Structure 1
């Protein structure tokens, strides 16, 4: 089989298909590659901010048999032309709040081995005191989480959704966000001769052109 073959399709929403084709590697090895395709465009994950906190949702995920704490996310509708449009709609549907000044900060591939969907990470401001509108019922509840609590939630496995972790990494590395270097690393990666001041100097040099405020 040299051309792509469709194994399965579902019209959605979201639209899903599974295809397969023969692939040849530079080493000469060949294998049958399967590719999962979903949605009608770029997916989005939304980091909604208010002061020192981010807005998360709890969603029931039957495939892992758990209620999962994660950032709001979703697929584009056919009528939407930008990820920012998609983010504003999905955020309102999942949280009941409006997302102000949505801005894309980066993209990643979901899984380069079988599901190479591109996902845009969008940040924006929202009002924690606003009365939320009715949601679409896909989430259980919303939770405001202080930025300083995020490293602990990741370490303890309370945040383990890959979309959420990837998005937080993009956001964290766009500027230092959660904690000062010595607080984030000294008690988590202890080793002989560890010097948090030296690490801070390295980070400062690498981000010399960026604003110093880690909570901007």
Structure 2
């Protein structure tokens, strides 16, 4: 497990024997490598993985609107309408990280925060846990963007949130999943 000041989830003991585990590269953003695993039929195979720090996505609802951010994503070369999100720091809970990220990215503080769900993402290749947090009872505060964040804040009526994200091109998974979870829980 990487010790970079960010939260990383410990893995349980493996059900299939791991004969070798190797880290092949490390960046400031993720670590990648493989585990040589003995499969149930006795053969071995290298299963490649990339480990990312634990993250949080915030469904912030105020005055019957959902608070979004728009930002350009160089990795896919397009601007995305997204929910506020970020990395969970070491020692932080999902709700503490959500409170911090919401404040930094949108300029809102939440008096009420609740974890909707945490999920392992893209488990065929990633070691990455993501938590989805509902934030309500918002009050305006000063934003504190990171030096590499160029975000604009946009509110969308609750009843239009999912349709707006889906109709805005190709949405990102974290935003769509969070909105669907919130709808399933009766929040949207």
TM bucket normalised to smaller: 0.7 to 0.9
Q: Is the 8 A contact 1:102 1:122 kept in 2?
A: yes
Aligned to 1:6: 23
Structure 1 CA distance for aligned equivalents of residues 65 and 187 of structure 2 = 15
> Which structure: greater strand fraction?
2
Consecutive unaligned residues of structure 1, counting only runs of 5 or more, are 178-216
Aligned to 1:133: 143
Choose from 60, 66, 73 the match for 2:85: 73
1:7-156 correspondence runs (5 A): 7-10=24-27, 12=28, 14=29, 16-26=30-40, 30-39=44-53, 42-78=54-90, 80-127=91-138, 130=140, 132-137=142-147, 138-156=149-167
Runs of 4+ in 1 over 6 A off after TM superposition: none
Q: Give the length in aligned residue pairs.
A: 170
Structure 1 CA distance for aligned equivalents of residues 42 and 182 of structure 2 = 39
TM-score (ref. length: structure 1): 0.70
Q: C-alpha deviations, 1:20-78, integer Å up to 9, x for none? A: 12234446664321111122xx3110111102110000122111001111111111122
Q: Is the 8 A contact 1:92 1:135 kept in 2?
A: no
Structure 1 CA distance for aligned equivalents of residues 78 and 137 of structure 2 = 27
Structure 1 CA distance for aligned equivalents of residues 153 and 169 of structure 2 = 15
Structure 1 CA distance for aligned equivalents of residues 70 and 141 of structure 2 = 19
Aligned CA RMSD, in angstroms, stands at 2.3
- DSSP 3-state at the match of 1:31: strand
TM-score (ref. length: structure 2): 0.80
Consecutive unaligned residues of structure 2, counting only runs of 5 or more, are 1-17
Structure 1 CA distance for aligned equivalents of residues 97 and 166 of structure 2 = 30
Largest Rg, 1 or 2: 1
Structure 2 CA distance for aligned equivalents of residues 55 and 77 of structure 1 = 23
Q: C-alpha deviations, 1:86-138, integer Å up to 9, x for none? A: 1111111111221221111111112111113111111112547x354343351
